[in-house]
Structure 1
Amino acid sequence: MKVTVDEDRCRGHGMCLTLCPEVFTMTDDGYAVADPSDVPDGLEGAAKDAISNCPEQAIVEIS
């Protein structure tokens, strides 16, 4: 599983970072980015929580 953040939609709420800090970070400008590698084993649930709780629906799972 991989995830990405749509930089046009992200508004920097930080919910993803709160739910899954192993996958998401914030840029110096205050917007979220996702680690481009696969979500580590055992963190898929947290990543999916981040997807479903993003207020801007800016996080998507990619194949």
Structure 2
Amino acid sequence: MKIVADLARCEGHGLCVDVAPDMYELDDDAIVVVVRPDVPSSLEKVAEAGARVCPVAALKVLK
């Protein structure tokens, strides 16, 4: 599984970071950084949850 971020869509709400801090961070401009784009199986559920809470759908899960 992979996580892809659409940086142009990201508005820096940070909900993904709240839900999945091992997967996502915000940079100095409050834009999402996917810490582990290739998601380990042990973090798949949390990575998906972090992507789902994005209010602007800036994160996409690829299986």
Distance change in 2, residues 1:37/1:60 (3 Å): closer
Cα distance between partner residues in 2 of 1:47 and 1:37 = 10
Which residue of 1 is the match for residue 20 of structure 2?
A: 20
Report the alpha carbon displacement of residue 36 of structure 1 after superposing the two structures with TM.
Answer: 4.7
Change (3 A) 1:21 1:60: same
Q: How many residues align?
A: 63
1:49 equivalent to 2:42? Answer: no
Q: Distance in 2 between matches of 1:27 and 1:4?
A: 16
The percentage of counterpart residues that share the same residue type is 35
Please state whether the residue corresponding to 2:46 is helix, strand or coil: helix
Whether the 8 Å CA contact 1:4–1:33 is kept in 2: the answer is: no
TM-score w.r.t. the length of structure 1 is 0.85
Gaps of 5+ in 2: none
SS in structure 2 at match of 1:43? helix
**TM-score where L is the length of structure 2:** 0.85
Q: Contact between 1:4 and 1:36, CA under 8 Å: does it hold in 2?
A: no
> Structure 1 residues 7 and 37, CA, compared in 2 at 3 Å: closer, same or farther?
closer
- 2:18 and 2:41 mapped to 1: Cα distance? 18
TM-fit CA distance, 1:27: 0.6
